[in-house]
Amino acid sequence: MAGKGTPATALLGKQKVAHTLHAYDHDPRAESYGLEAVEALGLDRARVFKTLVAEVDGRLVVGVVPVTGQLDLKALAAAAGGKKAKMADPAAAQRATGYVLGGISPLGHRSRLPVVIDASASTFETVFCSAGRRGLEVELAPAELIRLTGAVVAPIAA
């Protein structure tokens, strides 16, 4: 599986975005996929982001926050122009993104979903996020992540 690309890596290649892939052996018993990546790759936890899918006023919205924090659903709703947010049904999240839980990337979704990236991402030269499967992270400039996803940047981490 290590050599197989994902929709996220295909998008990065097609857009000629400078990025680095970081693979590690995923442990199916890991309780936190993001923290597993931090440990396995020896990364600064503040630079590793997790991708979460929520439902804002009945539509799916992607929130990208540091693995060390939680998604602030009220802040996400406000950033997405909505009133109320709750975590999305896992099956709906997987269907809409085309990725499995723990491997959802903010890039290359099956359906075009609004994306909100936590403002802390902009403070780093590069950030890490899922490249579209468990055990594969992509490192890229936050400005490129924002551009490729058409993201809104807002303080959405709790």
Q: Is residue 32 pLDDT above 90, yes or no?
A: no
Mean pLDDT to the nearest integer, 87-115: 95
Would you place residue 96 in the very low, low, confident or very high pLDDT band (cuts 50, 70, 90)? very high
Q: What is the pLDDT of residues 106-130, one digit of tens each?
A: 999 999 999 999 999 999 999 999 9
Mean pLDDT to the nearest integer, 39-65: 97
Is 42 in a helix, a strand, or coil? coil
The answer to whether 121 touches 49, Cβ cutoff 8 Å, is yes
pLDDT of residue 4: 66
pLDDT greater at residue 1 or residue 27: 27
Q: Is residue 3 pLDDT above 60, yes or no?
A: no
The answer to whether 52 touches 65, Cβ cutoff 8 Å, is yes
- Cα angle at 46 between 60 and 142, to 5 degrees? 60
Domains of the chain (ranges; CATH) run 21-154 (3.90.960.10)
